Chains A and B, each alone.
Chain A
Amino acid sequence: MKIFSRSALIGSLASGILLAGHALYFGTMEVVLANALVFMLIVASWGYLLSQSDSSQKVRGHPDAAVSGDSLFIQESSAFHVQLGNEMSDQLSSAHTELGNTQAILSDAIVKLVSNFIAISDGVRELSQQAGSFSKQVHQLIGDASSMLKSSERSADGSTPNETNSVARSNKQVEAMMRELIGFNETVTQNALELNTIYAKVEQNVLVVISTLQFQDMSSQLIEHARMRMAALKEIAKEMGRGGDSSSQREYMEQIAAYNRLLQKHVASADRHKSNPVAQKDFGTGDIELF
Protein backbone atom coordinates (compact mmCIF):
# COMPACT_ATOMS: atom_id res chain seq x y z
CA MET A 1 0.00 0.00 0.00
CA LYS A 2 2.93 2.35 0.71
CA ILE A 3 4.33 1.81 -2.78
CA PHE A 4 0.94 2.53 -4.32
CA SER A 5 0.61 5.81 -2.35
CA ARG A 6 4.06 6.97 -3.35
CA SER A 7 3.30 6.22 -7.01
CA ALA A 8 0.07 8.25 -6.76
CA LEU A 9 1.98 11.15 -5.18
CA ILE A 10 4.63 11.13 -7.91
CA GLY A 11 1.88 10.81 -10.56
CA SER A 12 0.00 13.77 -9.06
CA LEU A 13 3.15 15.95 -9.04
CA ALA A 14 3.99 15.00 -12.64
CA SER A 15 0.38 15.70 -13.70
CA GLY A 16 0.54 19.09 -11.92
CA ILE A 17 3.78 20.06 -13.76
CA LEU A 18 2.38 18.94 -17.15
CA LEU A 19 -0.95 20.75 -16.58
CA ALA A 20 0.90 23.91 -15.50
CA GLY A 21 3.07 23.73 -18.64
CA HIS A 22 -0.02 23.17 -20.77
CA ALA A 23 -1.77 26.19 -19.20
CA LEU A 24 1.34 28.41 -19.71
CA TYR A 25 1.70 27.26 -23.34
CA PHE A 26 -1.91 28.02 -24.27
CA GLY A 27 -2.21 31.03 -21.91
CA THR A 28 -6.01 31.15 -21.93
CA MET A 29 -8.04 31.52 -18.77
CA GLU A 30 -10.30 28.54 -19.60
CA VAL A 31 -7.34 26.17 -20.05
CA VAL A 32 -5.73 27.35 -16.78
CA LEU A 33 -9.02 26.84 -14.97
CA ALA A 34 -9.63 23.42 -16.53
CA ASN A 35 -6.07 22.27 -15.70
CA ALA A 36 -6.39 23.55 -12.13
CA LEU A 37 -9.62 21.54 -11.72
CA VAL A 38 -7.99 18.37 -13.13
CA PHE A 39 -5.02 18.84 -10.82
CA MET A 40 -7.28 19.29 -7.79
CA LEU A 41 -9.14 16.12 -8.81
CA ILE A 42 -5.85 14.20 -8.97
CA VAL A 43 -4.78 15.52 -5.53
CA ALA A 44 -8.17 14.63 -4.07
CA SER A 45 -7.87 11.10 -5.49
CA TRP A 46 -4.39 10.79 -4.02
CA GLY A 47 -5.68 11.95 -0.63
CA TYR A 48 -8.53 9.44 -0.79
CA LEU A 49 -6.09 6.63 -1.59
CA LEU A 50 -3.92 7.59 1.37
CA SER A 51 -6.88 7.61 3.74
CA GLN A 52 -7.98 4.17 2.48
CA SER A 53 -4.47 2.85 3.01
CA ASP A 54 -4.48 4.07 6.67
CA SER A 55 -7.89 2.53 7.30
CA SER A 56 -6.76 -0.77 5.84
CA GLN A 57 -3.72 -0.79 8.09
CA LYS A 58 -5.85 -0.01 11.12
CA VAL A 59 -8.16 -2.92 10.32
CA ARG A 60 -5.30 -5.39 9.82
CA GLY A 61 -3.28 -4.14 12.73
CA HIS A 62 0.34 -3.30 12.83
CA PRO A 63 2.81 -6.22 12.33
CA ASP A 64 4.44 -5.40 15.69
CA ALA A 65 1.03 -5.46 17.34
CA ALA A 66 0.38 -8.95 15.87
CA VAL A 67 3.61 -10.23 17.43
CA SER A 68 2.67 -8.87 20.82
CA GLY A 69 -0.82 -10.49 20.49
CA ASP A 70 0.71 -13.98 19.93
CA SER A 71 2.97 -13.49 22.90
CA LEU A 72 0.00 -12.58 25.09
CA PHE A 73 -1.89 -15.69 23.96
CA ILE A 74 1.10 -17.91 24.79
CA GLN A 75 1.52 -16.28 28.20
CA GLU A 76 -2.15 -16.78 28.98
CA SER A 77 -2.04 -20.42 27.81
CA SER A 78 1.07 -21.10 29.87
CA ALA A 79 -0.54 -19.57 32.94
CA PHE A 80 -3.60 -21.75 32.34
CA HIS A 81 -1.40 -24.86 32.08
CA VAL A 82 0.36 -23.99 35.34
CA GLN A 83 -2.98 -23.58 37.10
CA LEU A 84 -4.32 -26.79 35.55
CA GLY A 85 -1.15 -28.69 36.46
CA ASN A 86 -1.29 -27.57 40.09
CA GLU A 87 -4.98 -28.40 40.35
CA MET A 88 -4.48 -31.86 38.82
CA SER A 89 -1.49 -32.52 41.04
CA ASP A 90 -3.50 -31.64 44.18
CA GLN A 91 -6.47 -33.77 43.12
CA LEU A 92 -4.29 -36.77 42.19
CA SER A 93 -2.40 -36.44 45.44
CA SER A 94 -5.65 -36.52 47.44
CA ALA A 95 -7.01 -39.49 45.46
CA HIS A 96 -3.67 -41.31 45.88
CA THR A 97 -3.81 -40.85 49.65
CA GLU A 98 -7.50 -41.79 49.88
CA LEU A 99 -6.92 -45.01 47.91
CA GLY A 100 -3.97 -45.82 50.17
CA ASN A 101 -6.12 -45.30 53.26
CA THR A 102 -8.91 -47.46 51.80
CA GLN A 103 -6.38 -50.18 51.06
CA ALA A 104 -4.97 -50.02 54.63
CA ILE A 105 -8.43 -50.05 56.26
CA LEU A 106 -9.57 -53.03 54.15
CA SER A 107 -6.37 -54.91 54.82
CA ASP A 108 -6.58 -54.28 58.56
CA ALA A 109 -10.23 -55.36 58.65
CA ILE A 110 -9.53 -58.60 56.78
CA VAL A 111 -6.52 -59.46 58.96
CA LYS A 112 -8.67 -59.00 62.08
CA LEU A 113 -11.53 -60.98 60.55
CA VAL A 114 -9.26 -63.89 59.63
CA SER A 115 -7.62 -63.76 63.09
CA ASN A 116 -11.04 -63.96 64.74
CA PHE A 117 -12.20 -66.86 62.57
CA ILE A 118 -9.00 -68.72 63.35
CA ALA A 119 -9.36 -67.91 67.07
CA ILE A 120 -12.93 -69.28 67.06
CA SER A 121 -11.79 -72.42 65.27
CA ASP A 122 -8.84 -72.86 67.68
CA GLY A 123 -11.15 -72.23 70.67
CA VAL A 124 -13.67 -74.86 69.61
CA ARG A 125 -10.84 -77.33 68.89
CA GLU A 126 -9.32 -76.78 72.36
CA LEU A 127 -12.73 -77.16 73.99
CA SER A 128 -13.31 -80.40 72.08
CA GLN A 129 -9.87 -81.70 73.06
CA GLN A 130 -10.36 -80.74 76.72
CA ALA A 131 -13.77 -82.40 76.85
CA GLY A 132 -12.26 -85.55 75.32
CA SER A 133 -9.40 -85.47 77.79
CA PHE A 134 -11.77 -84.95 80.76
CA SER A 135 -13.91 -87.88 79.63
CA LYS A 136 -10.80 -90.09 79.48
CA GLN A 137 -9.73 -88.96 82.95
CA VAL A 138 -13.17 -89.76 84.39
CA HIS A 139 -13.11 -93.14 82.65
CA GLN A 140 -9.69 -93.83 84.15
CA LEU A 141 -10.97 -92.77 87.57
CA ILE A 142 -13.91 -95.15 87.32
CA GLY A 143 -11.54 -97.98 86.35
CA ASP A 144 -9.27 -97.24 89.33
CA ALA A 145 -12.23 -97.09 91.74
CA SER A 146 -13.58 -100.43 90.46
CA SER A 147 -10.18 -102.06 91.02
CA MET A 148 -9.98 -100.65 94.54
CA LEU A 149 -13.53 -101.89 95.24
CA LYS A 150 -12.66 -105.43 94.18
CA SER A 151 -9.50 -105.26 96.24
CA SER A 152 -11.46 -104.20 99.35
CA GLU A 153 -13.92 -107.10 98.82
CA ARG A 154 -11.01 -109.56 98.76
CA SER A 155 -9.50 -108.02 101.90
CA ALA A 156 -12.81 -108.40 103.75
CA ASP A 157 -12.86 -112.22 103.29
CA GLY A 158 -11.20 -112.96 106.66
CA SER A 159 -13.09 -110.37 108.68
CA THR A 160 -15.84 -110.72 111.31
CA PRO A 161 -19.52 -110.83 110.12
CA ASN A 162 -20.09 -107.25 111.35
CA GLU A 163 -17.04 -105.99 109.50
CA THR A 164 -18.07 -107.93 106.39
CA ASN A 165 -21.56 -106.40 106.50
CA SER A 166 -20.08 -102.93 106.96
CA VAL A 167 -17.76 -103.42 103.97
CA ALA A 168 -20.64 -104.73 101.85
CA ARG A 169 -22.75 -101.68 102.69
CA SER A 170 -19.89 -99.32 101.86
CA ASN A 171 -19.25 -101.15 98.62
CA LYS A 172 -22.89 -100.82 97.60
CA GLN A 173 -22.77 -97.09 98.30
CA VAL A 174 -19.57 -96.72 96.29
CA GLU A 175 -21.04 -98.81 93.47
CA ALA A 176 -24.10 -96.57 93.39
CA MET A 177 -21.86 -93.49 93.22
CA MET A 178 -19.85 -95.10 90.45
CA ARG A 179 -22.97 -95.85 88.43
CA GLU A 180 -23.85 -92.18 88.68
CA LEU A 181 -20.30 -91.30 87.68
CA ILE A 182 -20.46 -93.65 84.68
CA GLY A 183 -23.76 -92.05 83.63
CA PHE A 184 -22.19 -88.59 83.99
CA ASN A 185 -19.16 -89.68 81.99
CA GLU A 186 -21.34 -90.97 79.18
CA THR A 187 -22.82 -87.48 78.95
CA VAL A 188 -19.32 -85.93 78.95
CA THR A 189 -18.18 -88.37 76.26
CA GLN A 190 -21.23 -87.57 74.17
CA ASN A 191 -20.57 -83.84 74.58
CA ALA A 192 -16.92 -84.32 73.59
CA LEU A 193 -18.00 -86.13 70.43
CA GLU A 194 -20.49 -83.37 69.61
CA LEU A 195 -17.82 -80.73 70.21
CA ASN A 196 -15.52 -82.61 67.89
CA THR A 197 -18.20 -82.58 65.19
CA ILE A 198 -18.77 -78.85 65.76
CA TYR A 199 -15.02 -78.22 65.50
CA ALA A 200 -14.87 -80.10 62.18
CA LYS A 201 -17.76 -77.98 60.87
CA VAL A 202 -16.18 -74.73 62.10
CA GLU A 203 -12.89 -75.68 60.47
CA GLN A 204 -14.65 -76.43 57.18
CA ASN A 205 -16.45 -73.08 57.35
CA VAL A 206 -13.19 -71.27 58.06
CA LEU A 207 -11.67 -72.93 54.98
CA VAL A 208 -14.62 -71.67 52.89
CA VAL A 209 -14.15 -68.19 54.39
CA ILE A 210 -10.46 -68.39 53.46
CA SER A 211 -11.36 -68.88 49.78
CA THR A 212 -13.63 -65.83 49.90
CA LEU A 213 -11.47 -63.43 51.88
CA GLN A 214 -8.61 -63.77 49.41
CA PHE A 215 -10.45 -61.38 47.09
CA GLN A 216 -9.29 -58.59 49.39
CA ASP A 217 -5.70 -59.47 48.48
CA MET A 218 -6.56 -59.23 44.79
CA SER A 219 -8.36 -55.90 45.19
CA SER A 220 -5.43 -54.63 47.24
CA GLN A 221 -3.05 -55.43 44.39
CA LEU A 222 -5.32 -53.67 41.89
CA ILE A 223 -5.50 -50.59 44.14
CA GLU A 224 -1.71 -50.60 44.46
CA HIS A 225 -1.38 -50.75 40.68
CA ALA A 226 -3.81 -47.83 40.26
CA ARG A 227 -1.89 -45.82 42.90
CA MET A 228 1.36 -46.39 41.04
CA ARG A 229 -0.16 -44.95 37.84
CA MET A 230 -1.65 -42.03 39.78
CA ALA A 231 1.77 -41.26 41.24
CA ALA A 232 3.19 -41.14 37.70
CA LEU A 233 0.42 -38.78 36.53
CA LYS A 234 0.96 -36.60 39.61
CA GLU A 235 4.63 -36.16 38.65
CA ILE A 236 3.59 -34.92 35.20
CA ALA A 237 0.96 -32.58 36.68
CA LYS A 238 3.60 -31.22 39.08
CA GLU A 239 5.92 -30.57 36.15
CA MET A 240 3.09 -28.71 34.38
CA GLY A 241 2.48 -26.75 37.59
CA ARG A 242 6.10 -25.55 37.62
CA GLY A 243 5.47 -23.97 34.18
CA GLY A 244 7.93 -23.00 31.47
CA ASP A 245 9.38 -19.71 30.24
CA SER A 246 8.16 -20.11 26.66
CA SER A 247 7.66 -16.72 24.99
CA SER A 248 7.30 -17.78 21.36
CA GLN A 249 4.94 -20.20 19.70
CA ARG A 250 7.83 -22.56 18.92
CA GLU A 251 9.01 -22.64 22.55
CA TYR A 252 5.42 -23.16 23.68
CA MET A 253 5.00 -26.17 21.36
CA GLU A 254 8.33 -27.56 22.59
CA GLN A 255 7.07 -27.27 26.17
CA ILE A 256 3.91 -29.24 25.27
CA ALA A 257 6.06 -31.88 23.54
CA ALA A 258 8.24 -32.10 26.68
CA TYR A 259 5.14 -32.84 28.82
CA ASN A 260 4.14 -35.54 26.35
CA ARG A 261 7.61 -37.11 26.48
CA LEU A 262 7.47 -37.07 30.28
CA LEU A 263 4.08 -38.80 30.19
CA GLN A 264 5.41 -41.53 27.89
CA LYS A 265 8.45 -41.96 30.12
CA HIS A 266 6.39 -42.34 33.30
CA VAL A 267 3.84 -44.69 31.72
CA ALA A 268 6.62 -46.87 30.30
CA SER A 269 8.35 -46.81 33.69
CA ALA A 270 5.12 -47.80 35.47
CA ASP A 271 4.56 -50.70 33.04
CA ARG A 272 8.15 -51.85 33.41
CA HIS A 273 8.03 -51.61 37.19
CA LYS A 274 4.92 -53.72 37.57
CA SER A 275 2.36 -54.98 35.10
CA ASN A 276 -1.21 -55.47 36.30
CA PRO A 277 -0.97 -58.64 38.42
CA VAL A 278 -4.69 -59.40 38.45
CA ALA A 279 -5.76 -60.35 34.96
CA GLN A 280 -7.97 -63.37 35.58
CA LYS A 281 -11.09 -63.55 33.48
CA ASP A 282 -12.70 -65.97 35.94
CA PHE A 283 -12.60 -65.08 39.62
CA GLY A 284 -13.42 -68.54 40.95
CA THR A 285 -10.72 -70.44 42.81
CA GLY A 286 -7.56 -70.49 40.77
CA ASP A 287 -6.04 -73.05 38.45
CA ILE A 288 -3.38 -75.44 39.62
CA GLU A 289 -0.67 -76.59 37.27
CA LEU A 290 2.15 -78.95 38.17
CA PHE A 291 5.18 -78.73 35.88
Chain B
Amino acid sequence: MAKIILAVDDSTSIRQMVAFTLKSAGYTVIEAVDGQDGLDKIKGQATVDLVLTDQNMPRMDGLTLIKTLRGQPQFSATPILMLTTESSDEMKTQGRAAGATGWIVKPFDPHKLLEVIKKVIG
Protein backbone atom coordinates (compact mmCIF):
# COMPACT_ATOMS: atom_id res chain seq x y z
CA MET B 1 0.00 0.00 0.00
CA ALA B 2 1.32 3.45 -0.98
CA LYS B 3 2.51 5.66 1.84
CA ILE B 4 0.54 8.85 2.46
CA ILE B 5 2.21 12.27 2.54
CA LEU B 6 0.48 15.52 3.51
CA ALA B 7 1.96 18.40 1.44
CA VAL B 8 1.10 21.89 2.74
CA ASP B 9 1.98 25.04 0.77
CA ASP B 10 0.06 28.20 -0.17
CA SER B 11 1.79 28.39 -3.58
CA THR B 12 -0.16 26.46 -6.21
CA SER B 13 2.91 25.89 -8.37
CA ILE B 14 4.98 24.54 -5.45
CA ARG B 15 2.12 22.21 -4.48
CA GLN B 16 1.96 20.95 -8.07
CA MET B 17 5.72 20.36 -8.16
CA VAL B 18 5.84 18.60 -4.78
CA ALA B 19 2.82 16.43 -5.65
CA PHE B 20 4.30 15.50 -9.04
CA THR B 21 7.65 14.59 -7.48
CA LEU B 22 6.09 12.47 -4.75
CA LYS B 23 3.48 10.79 -6.97
CA SER B 24 6.14 9.88 -9.54
CA ALA B 25 7.91 8.01 -6.72
CA GLY B 26 4.73 6.14 -5.83
CA TYR B 27 3.51 8.06 -2.81
CA THR B 28 -0.11 9.08 -2.25
CA VAL B 29 -0.29 12.84 -1.73
CA ILE B 30 -2.85 14.90 0.20
CA GLU B 31 -2.52 18.59 -0.74
CA ALA B 32 -3.40 21.53 1.55
CA VAL B 33 -3.18 25.31 1.00
CA ASP B 34 -2.22 26.28 4.57
CA GLY B 35 -1.79 24.86 8.06
CA GLN B 36 -5.48 25.04 8.91
CA ASP B 37 -6.43 23.35 5.64
CA GLY B 38 -3.84 20.66 6.38
CA LEU B 39 -5.42 19.96 9.78
CA ASP B 40 -8.89 19.84 8.17
CA LYS B 41 -7.74 17.47 5.42
CA ILE B 42 -6.29 14.89 7.82
CA LYS B 43 -9.10 15.13 10.35
CA GLY B 44 -10.46 11.62 10.78
CA GLN B 45 -7.37 10.16 9.11
CA ALA B 46 -5.86 7.44 11.31
CA THR B 47 -2.42 8.73 10.45
CA VAL B 48 -0.23 10.01 7.64
CA ASP B 49 3.27 8.70 7.02
CA LEU B 50 4.90 12.13 6.61
CA VAL B 51 4.04 15.83 6.65
CA LEU B 52 5.86 18.25 4.34
CA THR B 53 5.01 21.87 5.14
CA ASP B 54 5.91 25.43 4.15
CA GLN B 55 6.46 28.04 6.90
CA ASN B 56 4.95 31.33 5.67
CA MET B 57 1.28 30.76 4.91
CA PRO B 58 -1.98 32.61 5.57
CA ARG B 59 -4.31 31.51 8.42
CA MET B 60 -1.83 29.05 9.97
CA ASP B 61 1.94 28.94 9.43
CA GLY B 62 4.15 25.86 9.41
CA LEU B 63 5.46 26.19 12.97
CA THR B 64 1.93 26.42 14.39
CA LEU B 65 0.90 23.39 12.31
CA ILE B 66 3.82 21.38 13.71
CA LYS B 67 3.00 22.37 17.29
CA THR B 68 -0.67 21.51 16.77
CA LEU B 69 0.13 18.10 15.24
CA ARG B 70 2.62 17.29 17.99
CA GLY B 71 -0.17 17.93 20.48
CA GLN B 72 -2.26 15.13 18.93
CA PRO B 73 -1.31 11.57 19.98
CA GLN B 74 -1.68 10.03 16.49
CA PHE B 75 0.79 12.53 15.01
CA SER B 76 3.23 12.78 17.91
CA ALA B 77 5.76 10.55 16.15
CA THR B 78 4.94 11.38 12.51
CA PRO B 79 7.97 12.73 10.66
CA ILE B 80 7.45 16.40 9.75
CA LEU B 81 9.74 18.15 7.27
CA MET B 82 9.73 21.91 6.78
CA LEU B 83 10.08 22.98 3.14
CA THR B 84 10.58 26.74 3.09
CA THR B 85 12.54 29.72 1.75
CA GLU B 86 13.39 30.61 5.37
CA SER B 87 17.01 29.68 5.98
CA SER B 88 18.01 31.53 9.14
CA ASP B 89 19.41 29.60 12.10
CA GLU B 90 16.87 31.33 14.32
CA MET B 91 13.97 29.88 12.32
CA LYS B 92 15.58 26.43 12.21
CA THR B 93 15.96 26.51 15.99
CA GLN B 94 12.29 27.40 16.33
CA GLY B 95 11.42 24.54 13.98
CA ARG B 96 13.45 22.06 15.97
CA ALA B 97 11.87 23.28 19.21
CA ALA B 98 8.38 22.92 17.70
CA GLY B 99 9.10 19.29 16.82
CA ALA B 100 10.16 19.35 13.16
CA THR B 101 12.10 16.32 11.96
CA GLY B 102 14.12 18.24 9.39
CA TRP B 103 14.49 21.47 7.42
CA ILE B 104 14.68 21.74 3.62
CA VAL B 105 15.41 25.14 2.08
CA LYS B 106 13.70 26.04 -1.22
CA PRO B 107 14.33 25.69 -4.08
CA PHE B 108 14.32 21.93 -3.54
CA ASP B 109 16.01 19.33 -5.73
CA PRO B 110 13.34 16.65 -6.42
CA HIS B 111 15.89 13.82 -6.26
CA LYS B 112 17.30 15.02 -2.94
CA LEU B 113 13.78 15.50 -1.58
CA LEU B 114 12.91 11.91 -2.44
CA GLU B 115 16.18 10.68 -0.90
CA VAL B 116 15.42 12.47 2.38
CA ILE B 117 11.84 11.20 2.45
CA LYS B 118 13.02 7.66 1.79
CA LYS B 119 15.54 8.03 4.59
CA VAL B 120 12.89 9.30 7.01
CA ILE B 121 9.98 6.97 6.24
CA GLY B 122 11.68 4.15 4.36
Contact = CB atoms under 8 A, between A and B. Distances in A.
Interface stretch (B28-36, B45-53, B103-111): B103-111
Interface string A197-216: 00000010011001111111
A218 interface: yes
Contact of A215 (B24, B107, B119): B107
A279 interface: yes
Contacts of B56: 221, 274, 277
Contacts of B92: 289
Contacts of B107: 211-212, 214-215, 217-218, 283, 285-286
Contacts of B63: none
A115 B104 contact: no
A58 B24 CA distance: 92
Contacts of A121: 20, 24
Contacts of B119: 290
A107 interface: yes
Contacts of B108: 211, 214, 285-286
B110 A107 contact: no
Interface residues of B, number: 35
B13 A213 contact: yes
Chain A interface size band reads 20 to 34
Given A286-B87, A288-B116, A118 B20 contact: yes
Given A217-B106, A288-B112, A280 B85 contact: yes
Given A215-B107, A291-B102, A111 B87 contact: no
Given A115-B16, A207-B111, A214 B106 contact: yes
B64 interface: no
Contact of A207 (B21, B84, B116): B21
A38 interface: no
A283 B21 CA distance: 21
A210 B17 contact: yes
Contact of B100 (A216, A221, A291): A291
B9 to A, nearest CB: 8
A185 B65 CA distance: 54
B11 interface: yes
Interface string B57-96: 0000000000000000000000000001111100010011
B39 interface: no
Contacts of A280: 85, 87, 105
Contact of B85 (A210, A211, A218, A288): A218
A291 B79 CA distance: 11
Contacts of A115: 16
A102 B65 CA distance: 30
Contacts of B101: 290-291
A110 interface: yes
Residue from the set B13, B100, B102 with the largest chain A CB neighbour count within 10 Å: B13
A278 interface: yes
Contacts of B14: 214, 217
Nearest to B114: A207
A215 B100 CA distance: 24
Residue from the set A121, A210, A218 with the largest chain B CB neighbour count within 10 Å: A210
A287 B107 CA distance: 9
B104 A288 contact: yes
Nearest to A214: B107
Residue from the set A121, A203, A287, A289 with the largest chain B CB neighbour count within 10 Å: A289
21 contacts: A107-B12, A110-B13, A114-B13, A114-B16, A115-B16, A121-B20, A207-B21, A207-B111, A211-B110, A212-B107, A217-B11, A221-B56, A274-B56, A277-B86, A279-B86, A283-B107, A285-B112, A286-B105, A288-B103, A289-B103, A291-B96
Interface of B: 11-14, 16-17, 20-21, 24, 55-56, 84-88, 92, 95-96, 100-112, 116, 119-120
